[in-house]
Amino acid sequence: MAVLTPTRKSAWQAYSDWANAHRKWLFAAPAMIFVGVLIAFPLAWTLYLSLTDAHGSVRAASHFVGFRNYLQALGDMDRFWPATARTFAFTLSALAVEMVLGMCIALLLWRPFRGEKWVRVAILLPLVATPVAVGMMWRLIFDPNIGFANQLLNFFHLPSQPWLSSTETALPTLVFVDIWQWTPMVVLILLAGLTSLSEEPDEAARIDGANAWQRFIYVTLPLLMPTVIVAVLLRSIDALKTFDILYATKGKGGGSFNEVETLNVYAYGLSFDYNKYGLASAVLILFFLIIVACMFLLTRRRKGSNS
Amino acid sequence: MSAAAVVLAAGSLTACSSNGSSADGNGPSTLRVTLANHVWTDSIKAAIPEFEKANNVKVELTQLGEDQLSDQYNVKLNAGTDEIDVMMYRPLQEGKTFAKNGYLADLTDKVKSNADWDWSDFQAGPISSTTYEDKVVGVPTITEREVLYYRKDLLKKAGLEVPKTMEELQADAKKIKDANPGVAGFVARTGKSAAVTQFSSFLYSYGGDFIDDAGKSAVGSDAAKKAYAVYGGLIKDQGPKNVSTDMSWPEAMAIFTQGNAAFYTEADSLYKNATDPAKSKVSDTVGFAPLPAGPAGSKPYNVPSWALGINSQSKNQDNAWKFVQWATSKAMTLKIQKAGVPGPRNSVWADPQGVSTYPKDLAAAIAVSAKNGVGHDRPLVNTVATAREIVGEPIVTAITGGDAAAAADAANTKFDKFLAGDN
């Protein structure tokens, strides 16, 4: 940082000066190149493809068709809109349960107790499992004829359920799997937020005679709000993009009736089964815009709650 | 972390391209072979060292499941890769698109160049499906026909003969299901797309087809409606309880081999799964019969399910062709057929050794099916995946107890629209 008065300007000195003057670009360059090559380029390419009628092979000649793919997707009541609705149904229901359940578990784990370490490790286990393996495992558990879930129900003299095999119960079953796998992450985030809270407000409320519920609602929760919003943000983006457990349990097209087809699964089918790269790209761009819009709304809430 | 990933990725990319084709060097050149998971592949894999030794070639084998294989090809061939030399592919599923996109090298001159290997020994049906616009683009490796798998013990217990017609099949399945709680009378694939190939034989046996001679959809015909109702109805009424509509062959086969079904219509090339005691609880009671006859007779499909092609972008064409010849030679075909995978060579079928390891009833069923078989088991179009989903819709509607005839009419309209735009 020291500014030296150059007496003899060697080549190294010249380079050093130049680097010094441009250091903000120089140090940021690797990250910028990375973003350019691995994020901006694919996005721009997808955007370009979405405006063409590319199909069959992306190397084959394609024509510029303007916004036709977008109009086709937006006017598609058979697959696109139901897939969009399912994406949101899946995300919102999973998110709601995960937040409530995650909060309860985090509050239970907040205060130190015996065997705390073991309990924490046990709770985090689903998180470290590979999603595809998780999908395969639950697929076996939920098998309507030989699966463990129905054996268990029968043991208690309850009727067998179709689980993943019926159009009505497939999506809720997968929401359950998502909750099983991702609640630990919510717990982790909320627990980190809880441990950083100071004790004083809680104590003050206790002295004023507030009961546990009142202390949680009026003291802990408002203080924890920034953390809660981070958890909601991370979890909702992830849930919107869920692909692995859906594909591993129901396969192409989200089942024979497209019963668990979300936008991701739909776009995957469009490109890899139907080879309609133009339409697939348009769906993905629309999906991207939806996610950006959700993020925008949530971060605005966060700024609002911070001020 | 991300930067490290880029460096790693770049490193592995250069590594791939550098050890690619050292054909001009003295060391063994590397041949990249991509194969699907199959009994056929297991036999080839075991013999690859012989090929490597005889040709001074190092074979790099990639083995994938069907769906992953398709996706892999879609990504890599789309990008114009030269990192695949020999590729195992499904002529009826992807053959037309791959050939049209120019992914598959023209083998027309090569197949005629070696009289010992003998191209004319291959069955005509399989050859026609690996030929695109008069150019040979692949060599068939595995053929299959739909046959009826059944449980000898359950039939005997019920005092039944093997069903010869679809009506008998329906009646027998019901009788066995009613008499044996927990055992389904019939099982077959139920997935919208997966079931299409096994449904096709029902369709032909009822006198229908997917596309008529004029190139229009035929899935709304009376014959097709009847076939949809029979196939779906058998699963709905005589199938397992709470049947899923996502079953492909592994799931359906599992129900049969666990001893939970009496009848099962499936490809003959998968018979080892039912007769192998390590995989099947019913290995000593399973029987095989030709597909029961419908009003139009017994008309199962008889198709080449897999073939070997060469990537047109491969820089290793000569070695790739050597590999294809070696893997499809008479001796190798006989060896693999004896291991349980039906091949495409006439001479091997004519050779008593060729069927020596097969259950007798299966060999007989195959002989019947080969005679009156139909050469396709799915609509022959460019985008087969879309077509299968359209014509498969009425199957799942029938299985779940919906109005199959109405679904067939709807599919008919949709399929006509698809056919008009399929290019």
Q: CA neighbours within 13 Å on the CB side: how many for A124?
A: 11
CATH code where residue B209 lies: 3.40.190.10
In angstroms, rounded to a whole number, what is the distance separating the alpha carbons of residues B263 and B257? 11
* Helices B384-399 and B195-205, axial angle in degrees (round to 10): 70
* pLDDT for residue A5: 56
Query: B159 with B131, same domain?
Result: no
Task: Examine residue B13 and state whether it is found in any structural domain, yes or no.
Answer: no
How confident is the model over B335-358, as pLDDT tens digits?
999 998 999 999 999 899 999 999
Instruction: Classify residue B354 by its DSSP letter.
Output: G
How many A/B residue pairs have CB atoms within 8 Å? 86
The answer to whether A144 contacts B242, with C-beta atoms less than 8 Å apart, is yes
Residue B242: its chain A contacts at CB < 8 A? 144-145, 160-162, 165-166
Q: Do A59 and B385 touch (CB under 8 A)?
A: no
Q: Which residue of A has its CA nearest to B399?
A: A256
Domain membership of residue B370 (yes or no) is no
Highest mean pLDDT, choosing among A270-279, B23-32, B193-202: B193-202
Query: Tell me, what's the pLDDT at B420?
Result: 93
B3 lies in some domain? no
Gap between the Cα atoms of B267 and B262, Å rounded = 16
Q: Is the pLDDT of residue B22 over 50?
A: no
Which residues of chain A approach chain B closer than 8 Å at the C-beta?
A: 30-31, 34, 37-38, 56-60, 143-146, 160-162, 164-167, 250-253, 255-257, 271-275
Q: What is the pLDDT of residue B401?
A: 92
Contact between B217 and B415 (Cβ < 8 Å): yes
Residues B171 and B266 reside in one and the same domain: yes
What residues of chain A lie within 8 A of the CB of B258, using their CB?
146
Tell me: do B261 and B344 sit in the same domain. no
3-state secondary structure of B61: strand
Complex prediction ipTM: 0.76
Mutation for B interface: A78, A151, A273, most B CBs within 10 A: A273
Which is nearest to B371 in space by CA: B284, B318, B299, B282?
B299
Average pLDDT over residues B84-96: 94
**pLDDT tens per residue across span B207-266:** 999 999 999 999 999 999 999 999 999 999 999 988 889 899 988 999 999 999 999 999
Are B244 and A34 within 8 A, CB to CB?
Answer: no
Does the beta-carbon distance from B389 to A253 stay under 8 Å? yes
Number of domains comprising chain B: 2
Give the pLDDT confidence score for residue B39 in this predicted structure. Answer: 85
One domain for residues B96 and B223: no
Q: Are residues B174 and B225 in the same domain?
A: yes
Q: Is residue B179 part of a domain?
A: yes
List, in order, residues 6 or more apart from B317 with CB less than 8 Å away.
B85, B105, B310
Per-residue pLDDT of chain A (307 residues; tens, 9 = 90+): 555 555 567 889 888 999 889 888 889 999 999 988 998 999 999 999 999 998 888 877 888 999 999 999 999 999 999 999 999 999 999 999 999 999 999 998 888 888 888 888 888 888 888 889 999 999 989 988 778 998 899 899 998 888 998 889 999 999 999 999 999 999 999 999 999 998 899 899 999 999 999 999 999 999 999 999 999 989 998 999 999 999 999 988 888 899 999 999 999 999 888 889 999 999 999 999 988 888 888 778 666 555 4
The residue-averaged pLDDT of B90-98 equals 92
Shared-domain flag, residues B152 and B234: yes
What are the residue ranges spanned by the domains of chain A?
84-277
Substitution target in B245, B255, B384, B391 with the highest count of A β-carbons within 10 Å is B245
Retrieve residue A19's tokens.
């680097």
Residues B405, B281 share a domain: yes
Do the domain assignments include residue B220?
Answer: yes
**Mean of pLDDT values over B324-335:** 95
- Burial (Cβ within 10 Å: 0-12, 13-18, ≥19) of residue B25: exposed
How far apart CA B178 and CA B175 sit, in angstroms, is 5
Q: What are phi and psi for residue B32, nearest 5 degrees? A: -95, 120
What's residue A304's pLDDT?
59
User: Across the interface, do B6 and A34 touch by the CB < 8 Å criterion?
Assistant: yes
pLDDT of residue A305: 56
Higher-scoring residue by pLDDT: B279, B10: B279
Place of tokens 């709905």: B236
Q: How many C-beta atoms surround the C-beta of residue A183 within 10 A?
A: 25
Give CA separation, B208 vs B148, B360, B414, in Å.
20, 31, 18
Nearest Cα residue to B420 out of B133, B217, B213:
B217
B126 within a domain of the structure (yes/no): yes
- What is the overall mean pLDDT for chain B? 90
Is residue B211 located within the same domain as residue B287? yes
Q: Is residue B10 over pLDDT 90? A: no
Q: What are phi and psi of A55, to 5 degrees?
A: -155, 165
Check residue A3 and give its pLDDT.
55
Name the residue in chain B with its Cα closest to that of A276.
Answer: B383
pLDDT of residue A6: 52
Q: Domain A84-277's class?
A: mainly alpha
What percent of chain B has a predicted confidence (pLDDT) above 70? 93
Mean pLDDT, residues B322-341: 94
Q: Are residues B128 and B156 in the same domain?
A: no
pLDDT digits (tens, 9 = 90+) for B109-160: 999 999 999 999 998 888 888 999 999 999 999 999 999 999 999 999 999 9
Residue B164 sits in the same domain as residue B112? no
Residue B348 lies in a domain: yes
B92 and B177 housed in the same domain:
no
Full residue range of the structural domain in which residue B31 is found: 26-137+303-360
pLDDT tens sequence across B48-72 = 999 999 999 999 999 998 888 988 9
Judgement on whether residues B271 and B326 belong to the same structural domain of the protein: no
Please indicate, yes or no, if residue B56 is contained in any of the structural domains: yes
Q: Min CA distance, A19 vs chain B (Å)?
A: 21
Dihedral sign for Cα B237, B243, B249, B250, please. Answer: negative
The residue among B20 and B134 whose pLDDT is bigger is: B134
**What is the reported pLDDT for B194?**
93
- Eight-state DSSP code of residue B382: S
- Residues of chain A found within 8 Å of residue B191, distances taken between Cβ atoms: 251, 256
Beta-carbon contacts of B14 under 8 Å, excluding residues fewer than 6 positions away, are: none
Most confident of B16-20, B130-134, B163-167, B338-342: B163-167
What integer pLDDT is reported at residue A199 of this predicted model?
Answer: 87
Residue B376 has pLDDT above 80, yes or no: yes
